[in-house]
Amino acid sequence: MWTKHLVALAGLLALWTAQPATAAEPTPESVSIPADGENQPAKLDAMLFKPQGQGPFPAIVAMHGCSGLWSSKNIGLSPRHADWGKRLSALGYVVLFPDSYGSRDLGPQCKNDDRRVEPFRERVEDANAARRYLQTLPYVKPDAIALLGWSNGGSSVLYTVRPKDRPKAGSPDFRAAVAFYPGCTAMADKGDWATRVPLLIVMGEADDWTPAAPCKQLADANPDKVKLILYPGAYHDFDNEAQKLHELHGLAYTANDNGIAHAGLNPAARAAALKDVPEFLAVLKQ
């Protein structure tokens, strides 16, 4: 009997990873997050996905990368964020995307090396403001919230989960965190980074924008807390089905400091991440 249940569960997960999110799944709602930190605007704009049903549900704060939250065609969330938001909400998670740039009247920052919004400062505050907001919602489990981010948002995840940034007493902490292809170089060079929550890092082994080696250094130094998965042959943005692999120029930070890097879909890596990330986040449902 137990074997039959496992087979059925595996089949459902395979179906979920194989199929795109559909229009029948939950659509995001625009919300405002109170933000009263030192480097915060009066409020943060955000998009929220809610599963069907009454809850209470586990939740995820999802941090966008340096391209921002929105589609380049200004028609809504970027395809990657919309896809992950729908997929994770279909699995029973409330998913909240705070808009770190638009809330401050900023556009994409990938080619800007003098940024007003930094992953080690403003975006840490944004992540915690989003967590506190979720904890006020009656359909969210306040002690079952994870933090997830891509690229610059992934770096924001690494800074947010450091022991020094533990939330004040009385506010439940994040339970887990996931970082897609974060920039790990500065933290690896400093040599004292640690995480207070279980962390999954997923990235392409061939990434030449945010290289894998410094992230491996962080994982090796924190073997009990960090799980690193490297996908062979994959570059930055490997999970973005709407973006073909291409070469970018003029970037502010790259592995070789030449402003050139590759980004785009790797189907095998994307399929693996669609399995690996939900499996890791299942701790929120325990």
Residue 53 to residues 9, 92, 152, 236, 284, Cα–Cα distance (Å): 21, 9, 33, 35, 18
Rg (CA), the chain: 18
Report how far residue 189's alpha carbon sits from residue 37's, in angstroms, rounded to the nearest whole number.
Answer: 28
What value does the mean pLDDT of the chain take? 89
Ranges of each domain in the chain: 2-285
* Token duo for residue 194: 């640690």
DSSP letters, 64-106, are: --TT-SB-TTSSSB-HHHHHHHHHHHHTT-EEEEE-TTGGGT-
The 10s digit of each residue's pLDDT in 17-44 is: 444 444 455 689 999 999 876 667 879 9
- If we measure between CA atoms, which residue out of 10, 57, 59 comes closest to residue 275? 10
| Two structure tokens written together for 126 | 């944004």
Neighbours of 120 (CB within 10 A): 15
pLDDT digits (tens, 9 = 90+) for 163-211: 988 887 778 999 999 999 999 999 999 999 999 999 999 999 999 999 9
- What is the pLDDT averaged over residues 265-272? 98
> What end-to-end distance do the CA atoms of the chain give, in Å?
22
Q: Is a pLDDT exceeding 70 seen at residue 78?
A: yes
Helix, strand, coil percentages, rounded to 5, for the chain: 30, 20, 45
The pLDDT assigned to 13 comes to 47
Q: Which residue's entry shows tokens 């040599």?
A: 191
Measure the CA–CA gap between 256 and 248, rounded to whole angstroms: 13
What CATH code would you report for 2-285?
A: 3.40.50.1820
CA pair distance 116, 122, nearest whole angstrom:
8
Q: Given this model, what pLDDT does residue 23 score?
A: 42
Residue 271 has pLDDT above 80, yes or no: yes
Given a cut of 90, is residue 65 above it in pLDDT?
yes
Question: What does the block give as tokens for 95?
Answer: 């998913």
**Could you identify the residue written with the tokens 């799944």?**
25
Tokens for 285? 């449902």
pTM of the model as a whole? 0.89
- Rounded Cα distance between 194 and 92, Å, is 30
Query: What is the distance between the alpha carbons of residues 255 and 87, in angstroms, rounded to a whole number?
Result: 31
pLDDT (tens digit, 9 = 90+) per residue, 94-143?
A: 999 999 999 999 988 998 888 888 999 999 999 999 999 999 999 999 99
50 near 139, Cβ under 8 Å?
A: yes
Question: What does residue 2 show for φ and ψ, rounded to 5 degrees?
Answer: -60, -40
